[in-house]
Amino acid sequence: MSTLKADTIVAADGTSPVTLTKQSAAKAWIKFTNKTSNITHASFNISSFDDDGTGDFGINFTNSMSSAEYSAPSSGGEDNRYTVTNFGTVLSSAMDGQTRQTTTNNISDADRSSIEILGDLA
């Protein structure tokens, strides 16, 4: 059995980092609570998560996407009694969203929701 250990892997030109291209990996994701306070449980490529009011939130990416035309599948928290929907502003560097109750469609804070960002990095 072989073991590969490396601190840095670079592209063939020897200077630029290797990038994920033509792969179906999430380029950013976040699992969060915005019920009583904003809590990020875990995340990848998310620099900040902000509270824009009841049920409204924004996330900023550490590394921007190549365009604002990315996919953002999501799931609502608390046994799926909530949905993450109505993405307002969508930029290559950030996006806004809302959590809503599934039965009433009312904007509401939720516990343990998540968003995955699929697309290409800039």
The token duo for 49 is 């998560």
Across the chain, how many H-helices and E-strands are there? 1, 8
pLDDT at 21 over 70: no
Q: How far apart are CA 68 and CA 70, in angstroms?
A: 6
Mean pLDDT of 22-31: 82
The DSSP element (H or E) to which 6 belongs, if any, is none
Instruction: Report residue 87's pLDDT band, with 50, 70 and 90 as the boundaries.
Output: confident
pLDDT of residue 14: 76
Q: Give me the phi and psi of 77, to 5 degrees please.
A: -90, -175
pLDDT of residue 95: 95
Report which of residues 25 and 77 the model is more confident about.
25
pLDDT of residue 22: 57
Q: What is the pLDDT of residues 51-64, one digit of tens each?
A: 899 999 999 999 99
Report which of residues 28 and 84 the model is more confident about.
28
Q: Give me the phi and psi of 31, to 5 degrees please.
A: -115, 125
pLDDT at 85 over 80: no
pLDDT of residue 8: 73
Q: In whole angstroms, how large is the CA radius of gyration of the chain? A: 17
pLDDT at 28 over 90: yes
pLDDT of residue 23: 61
The ranges assigned to domains in the chain are: 28-117
- Counting Cα atoms < 13 Å in the Cβ hemisphere of 84 gives 26
Q: How far apart are the first and last CA of the chain?
A: 36
